[in-house]
């Protein structure tokens, strides 16, 4: 039996305000709250809320047969709590129906998996905590920000105990292989990999209302027919996209909501089921392993990391940022930690791309770079104020370790004292 | 295809960007093989590069019939024009121009610059071109800038050949809105009577359509390009302690020098490792010196005076940042020259070249904060400097006059019915 695995990415970044170099050192607030609220409210009202209602209806009309997964970045959840609490409620309702799954991902939708494994693990844990506190369940399947994946990252994820991870269909990795099977990690066979069906996903996300597309108009019947006509042994069709595709890129007027509503019925008619990523990992056997020596993502045709670190500007920004990660980990100050997460969001670096600054609100890559670097300069100054960069990281670590160890040692010694004191009477008895 | 081009300047004796653009365009068009260009300028010096076109000096063309011996003509203008040509052109005198003051050869003396009696010089130029229009054979007339529009129109009326006017600037750019009605009149009439209008940027195209009320179909943008520098590697940057930020151009209202001074003031409040250079001269120079003194940055703000030829490229190459805060710039070729020698450029959005450049930072001319921010980033951040330097150079090397020439040729072909 064939199964469709629907998954939607929900991620919006906080917008940086125009931060001039005169502000460095004077002003430590980096965000344009008005802009953030404005576009977020817009998006929530025209896309996220109606889409959630549609999905609720799909679940109802299919008697709970329809299932889908969401990955909501921690940063977005923070923003929704502040600007659109009703959206959180709406997700909560979906969560209670037990027909949606929430995936784990790094909290800040960051590139930490590439730059700093320690930071990556911290963020994943943070995100799982957040999801659990909001929706009552800890995620068991993992997707990385921008679906970035390599053997190395896969290993990190496997070490954290996840059994399923989501990746994109990169031509140079898949070759002749079909994305419609379950695969496994190159040398950690317990980690199963689900592969996005790039064509069928983009048919909805980008081509649905394109009048020049040869398959326009797309109906649910036609779409399910395509899925039905895949070779019979192919057992999972992964349809993944950014959630804003529903209602924002494809407007309500295009009929996208009605298209979706018709999907469960048409699918059941053809005996096609729906499945969670975690369920797929448990139930479907992997057919082969995939070896990914260099990181891939879900962006562009090359499916590599160039949209975020393809030019000198982006590399400079990222290197400067992650150079202080150890120091920030030592910090306890909450605002600093918050800014640290916000500044890691992958979107900031995407805006600095010359070739593909998707979703940018800057006039040019240079404009984005200037603004970000000014903010970063101020942030680095603040980190420096706590832990001056005159001291080497290792040295600093040693000092901190000594302090931490001191406590442990004291605790250890106290334990010993207690043990010895307890042992005293026994000794006495023996001598007697 | 034979083109009669009417211009005012030609290298090496140039006063502004017009001469450079004329040279680049004609040189690239001559590479098309079947182009034959006669370029008329008021007063050639005899040392112009004539390897790819023929330059005719308006000051050697007789407009009043005077008897002279071959030898006398040879002595007088032999280095600019062959005496036989002089006598042949003399047959083209069809109108009575005795009202104009002429010399012993029946020719008019031109200054070849932009003198106070510019309007008189324009009408004299028109008279000269009438003689050429009667005598030469050509398929198309191409007028560069308003000074030659009346002559172009007259040549069209005489020969019946199509006229293309090339708008390198309009009076709206030169005067910040205080338009001279006589100049406007000449420009408007030239555009009205032209068969096609070429503008150097979409910005200028909009001005032509909105302010001169021309039909959009008649106006095409052909962006300028930049000649590759042959000795580009000879311009090197001497390592120095302080970064150099440069403004280069005429110090006039149009170029927005005061915004540069203000931006410098902002940058110097944050860092002292930068020096600012204002190269060029102009009617606002004194005011700028005063302004720099008022802002208390005169110790870090330097004036070089007028630079020419190699000095220009040397100055650009020595700079870490080139800034062009022009209030209104039809095209603006100097950022391209700066990028050729690897100097990152900050340009105003109100300049035409902003339309074709990606690897330059663009700000509004009045936005001194953005300008200061960009300067600060480039001097403080090696990655930004490197990126702008390398990608900018690559970008500029791909902007070729040859492509611009092909676009102009297409317009010729359409007008002459060759297409």
Q: What percent of chain B has pLDDT over 70?
A: 100
Q: Which residues of A touch B377 (CB under 8 A)?
A: 21, 369-370, 373-374
Q: Would an 8 Å CB–CB cutoff place A363 in contact with chain B?
A: yes
pLDDT in tens, A178-226: 999 999 999 999 999 999 999 999 999 999 999 999 998 999 999 999 9
> What whole-number distance in Å separates Cα of residue A244 and Cα of residue A250?
8
Comparing C-alpha atoms, which of B314, B310, B309, B292 is closest to residue B301?
Answer: B292
pLDDT in tens, A346-380: 999 999 999 889 889 999 999 999 999 999 999 99
pLDDT(B372) > 90: yes
pLDDT(A232) > 70: yes
pLDDT in tens, B348-369: 999 999 999 999 999 999 999 9
Q: Within a domain: residue A319? A: no
CA A168 remoteness from chain centre: 14
Helices (H) and strands (E) in chain B, counts: 15, 13
In chain B, CATH 3.40.50.2000 sits at: 2-225+401-416, 232-397
- Which of A22, A24, A314 is best to mutate for the B interface (most B CBs within 10 A)? A22
Classified as helix, coil or strand, A16 is: strand
Sorting pLDDT into bands at 50, 70 and 90, what band is A427?
low
| Fold held by B2-225+401-416 | Rossmann fold (3.40.50)
pLDDT(B308) > 90: no
Q: Which residue has the higher pLDDT, B250 or A429?
A: B250
Q: Within a domain: residue A382? A: no
* DSSP characters over A172-191: HHHTT--SSSEEEESS-TTS
Contact B372 A21 (CB under 8 A): yes
Classified as helix, coil or strand, A324 is: coil
Q: What is the mean pLDDT of residues B210-236?
A: 91
Q: Which helix (H) or strand (E) holds B9?
A: none
Q: Domain holding A106: CATH number?
A: 3.20.110.20
Q: Which of residues 274 through 333 in chain A touch B, CB cutoff 8 A? A: 311-313, 315-317
Task: Give the number of A-B residue pairs with CB atoms closer than 8 Å.
Answer: 52
Q: Which residues of B touch A312 (CB under 8 A)?
A: 383, 386-387
Residue A7: phi and psi, rounded to 5, are: -145, 135
What is the model's pLDDT at position B323?
97
What is the model's pLDDT at position B15?
76
pLDDT(A432) > 60: no
The residue in chain B having the minimum alpha-carbon distance to the alpha carbon of residue A367 is B361
| Fold held by B232-397 | Rossmann fold (3.40.50)
Supply angle C-alpha A291, A295, A297, rounded to 5. Answer: 110
pLDDT(A336) > 90: yes
What is the model's pLDDT at position A355?
87
- Which of B265, B357, B373 is best to mutate for the A interface (most A CBs within 10 A)? B373
Contact A364 B362 (CB under 8 A): yes
Q: What is the mean pLDDT of residues A418-432?
A: 68
- Which of B360, B383, B395 is best to mutate for the A interface (most A CBs within 10 A)? B383
Sorting pLDDT into bands at 50, 70 and 90, what band is A300?
confident
Q: What is the mean pLDDT of residues B68-91?
A: 92
Question: How far is residue B90 from each of residues A48, A105, A192, B68, B132, measured CA to CA in Å?
Answer: 82, 86, 92, 11, 9
Question: How far is residue B32 from each of residues A91, A358, B28, B402, measured CA to CA in Å?
Answer: 66, 41, 7, 9
Residue B291 to chain A, least CA–CA distance (Å)? 21
Q: What is the mean pLDDT of residues B138-152?
A: 95
Residue B401 to chain A, least CA–CA distance (Å)? 25
CA B250 remoteness from chain centre: 13
pLDDT(A45) > 70: yes
Max avg pLDDT among A382-386, B248-252, B355-359: B355-359
Cβ-count burial A179-213 (b if 16+ within 10 Å, e if not): bbbbbbbbeeeebbbbbbbbebbebbbebbbeeee
The residue in chain A having the minimum alpha-carbon distance to the alpha carbon of residue B371 is A20
Q: Which residues of A touch B354 (CB under 8 A)?
A: none
Question: How far is residue B344 from each of residues B43, B352, B395, measured CA to CA in Å?
Answer: 37, 17, 12
What is the model's pLDDT at position B199?
96
Contact B381 A373 (CB under 8 A): yes
pLDDT(A424) > 90: no
Residue A23 to chain B, least CA–CA distance (Å)? 10
Q: What is the mean pLDDT of residues B330-357?
A: 94
Contact B377 A364 (CB under 8 A): no
Write the CB contacts of B414 (distance below 8 Å, at least 6 apart in sequence).
B196
The residue in chain B having the minimum alpha-carbon distance to the alpha carbon of residue A354 is B358
- Which of B266, B268, B376, B390 is best to mutate for the A interface (most A CBs within 10 A)? B376
Q: Would an 8 Å CB–CB cutoff place A26 in contact with chain B?
A: no
What is the model's pLDDT at position A428?
52
Q: Which residues of B touch A20 (CB under 8 A)?
A: 369, 372-373
pLDDT in tens, B92-123: 999 999 999 999 999 999 988 888 889 999 99
Query: Which residue range(s) make up the domain with A227?
Result: 3-290
Sorting pLDDT into bands at 50, 70 and 90, what band is B174?
confident
Q: What is the mean pLDDT of residues B295-320?
A: 91
> What whole-number distance in Å separates Cα of residue A257 and Cα of residue B137?
69
Q: Would an 8 Å CB–CB cutoff place A367 in contact with chain B?
A: yes
Q: What is the mean pLDDT of residues B166-190?
A: 91
The residue in chain A having the minimum alpha-carbon distance to the alpha carbon of residue B384 is A313
pLDDT in tens, B22-32: 999 999 999 99
What is the model's pLDDT at position B321?
96
What is the model's pLDDT at position B229?
84
pLDDT in tens, B272-290: 999 999 999 889 999 999 9
User: Closest partner residue to A22 among B270, B362, B374, by Cβ?
Assistant: B270
Q: What percent of chain A has pLDDT over 70?
A: 97
What is the model's pLDDT at position A409?
85
Q: Within a domain: residue A320? A: no
Q: Which residues of B touch A313 (CB under 8 A)?
A: 383-384, 387
Domain count, chain A: 1
Q: What is the mean pLDDT of residues A145-165?
A: 95
Q: Within a domain: residue A309? A: no
Residue B146 to chain A, least CA–CA distance (Å)? 35
Contact A20 B369 (CB under 8 A): yes
> What whole-number distance in Å separates Cα of residue B171 and Cα of residue B181?
9
pLDDT(B405) > 90: yes
Residue B299 to chain A, least CA–CA distance (Å)? 21
- Look at the block and give the residue holding tokens 């020439």: B405
Sorting pLDDT into bands at 50, 70 and 90, what band is A425?
low
Q: What is the mean pLDDT of residues B37-44?
A: 94
Q: What is the mean pLDDT of residues B199-219?
A: 96
pLDDT(B410) > 60: yes
Q: Would an 8 Å CB–CB cutoff place A21 in contact with chain B?
A: yes
Q: Within a domain: residue A376? A: no
Residue A20 to chain B, least CA–CA distance (Å)? 6
Contact A22 B388 (CB under 8 A): no
Q: What is the mean pLDDT of residues A310-336?
A: 91
């Amino acid at each position: 039996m064939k199964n469709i695995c629907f998954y939607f990415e929900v991620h919006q970044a906080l917008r940086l305000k125009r931060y001039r170099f005169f502000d460095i050192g004077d002003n430590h607030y980096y965000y344009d709250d008005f802009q953030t609220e404005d576009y977020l409210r817009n998006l929530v009202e025209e896309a996220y809320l109606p889409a959630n209602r549609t999905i609720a209806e799909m679940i109802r009309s299919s008697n709970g047969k329809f299932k889908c997964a969401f990955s909501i970045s921690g940063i977005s959840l923070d923003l929704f709590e502040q600007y659109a609490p009703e959206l959180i409620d709406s997700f909560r309702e979906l969560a209670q129906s037990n027909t949606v799954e929430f995936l784990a991902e790094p909290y800040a939708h960051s590139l930490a998996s590439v730059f700093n494994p320690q930071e990556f693990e911290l963020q994943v844990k943070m995100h799982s905590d957040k999801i659990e506190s909001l929706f009552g369940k800890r995620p068991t399947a993992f997707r990385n920000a921008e679906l970035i994946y390599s053997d190395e990252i896969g290993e990190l994820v496997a070490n954290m105990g996840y059994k399923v991870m989501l990746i994109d269909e990169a031509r140079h990795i898949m070759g002749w292989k079909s994305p419609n099977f379950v695969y496994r990690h190159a040398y950690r066979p317990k980690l199963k990999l689900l592969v996005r069906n790039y064509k069928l996903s983009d048919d909805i996300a980008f081509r649905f209302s394109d009048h020049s597309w040869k398959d326009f108009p797309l109906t649910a019947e036609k779409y399910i027919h395509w899925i039905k006509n895949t070779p019979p042994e192919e057992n999972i069709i992964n349809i993944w996209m950014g959630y804003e595709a529903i209602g924002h890129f494809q407007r309500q007027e295009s009929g996208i909501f009605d298209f979706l509503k018709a999907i469960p019925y048409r699918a059941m008619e053809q005996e096609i089921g729906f499945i969670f990523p975690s369920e797929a990992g448990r139930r479907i056997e992997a057919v082969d392993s995939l070896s990914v020596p260099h990181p891939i993502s879900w962006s562009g045709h090359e499916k590599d990391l160039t949209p975020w670190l393809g030019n000198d500007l982006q590399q400079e920004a990222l290197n400067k940022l992650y150079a202080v990660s150890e120091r920030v980990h030592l910090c306890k100050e909450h605002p600093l930690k918050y800014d640290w997460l916000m500044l890691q969001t992958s979107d900031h670096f995407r805006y600095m791309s010359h070739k593909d600054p998707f979703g940018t609100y800057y006039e040019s890559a240079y404009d984005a770079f200037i603004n970000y670097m000014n903010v970063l300069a101020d942030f680095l100054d603040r980190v420096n104020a706590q832990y001056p960069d005159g001291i080497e990281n290792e040295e600093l670590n040693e000092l901190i370790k000594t302090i931490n160890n001191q406590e442990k040692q004291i605790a250890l010694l106290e334990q010993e004292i207690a043990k010895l004191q307890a042992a005293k009477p026994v000794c006495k008895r023996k001598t007697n | 295809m034979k083109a009669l081009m009417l211009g005012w300047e030609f290298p090496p004796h140039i006063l502004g960007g017009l001469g450079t653009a004329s040279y680049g365009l004609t040189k690239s068009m001559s590479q098309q093989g079947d182009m034959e260009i006669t370029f008329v300028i008021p007063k050639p010096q005899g040392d112009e590069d004539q390897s790819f076109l023929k330059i005719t000096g308006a000051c050697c063309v007789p407009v009043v019939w005077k008897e002279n011996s071959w030898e006398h003509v040879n002595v007088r203008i032999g280095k600019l024009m062959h005496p036989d040509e002089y006598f042949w052109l003399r047959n083209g005198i069809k109108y009575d121009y005795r009202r104009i003051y002429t010399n012993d050869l029946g020719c008019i003396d031109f200054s070849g610059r932009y003198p106070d009696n510019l309007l008189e010089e324009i009408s004299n130029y028109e008279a000269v071109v009438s003689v050429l229009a009667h005598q030469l054979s050509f398929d198309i007339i191409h007028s560069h800038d308003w000074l030659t529009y009346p002559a172009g129109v007259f040549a069209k009326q005489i020969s019946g050949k199509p006229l293309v006017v090339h708008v390198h600037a309009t009076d709206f750019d030169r005067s910040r809105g205080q338009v001279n009605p006589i100049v406007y009149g000449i420009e408007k009439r030239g555009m009205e009577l032209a068969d096609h209008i070429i503008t150097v940027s979409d910005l200028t195209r909009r001005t032509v359509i909105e302010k001169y009320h021309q039909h959009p179909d008649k106006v095409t943008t052909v962006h300028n390009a930049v000649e590759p520098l042959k000795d580009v590697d000879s311009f090197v940057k001497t390592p120095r302690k302080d970064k150099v930020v440069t403004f280069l151009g005429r110090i006039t209202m149009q170029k927005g020098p005061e915004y540069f001074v203000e931006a410098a003031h902002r940058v110097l409040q944050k860092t002292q490792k930068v020096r600012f250079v204002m190269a060029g001269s102009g009617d606002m120079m004194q005011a700028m010196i005063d302004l720099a003194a008022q802002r208390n940055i005169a110790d870090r703000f330097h004036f070089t005076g007028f630079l020419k030829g190699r000095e220009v490229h040397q100055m650009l190459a020595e700079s870490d940042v080139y800034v062009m805060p022009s209030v209104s710039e039809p095209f603006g070729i100097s950022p391209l020259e700066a990028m050729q020698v690897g100097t990152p450029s900050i340009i105003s959005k109100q300049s035409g070249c902003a339309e074709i450049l990606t690897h330059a930072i663009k700000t509004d001319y009045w936005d001194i904060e953005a300008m200061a921010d960009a300067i600060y980033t480039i001097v403080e951040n090696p990655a930004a400097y490197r990126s702008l330097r390398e990608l900018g150079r690559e970008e500029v090397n791909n902007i070729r006059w040859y492509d611009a020439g092909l676009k102009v040729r297409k317009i010729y072909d359409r007008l002459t019915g060759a297409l």
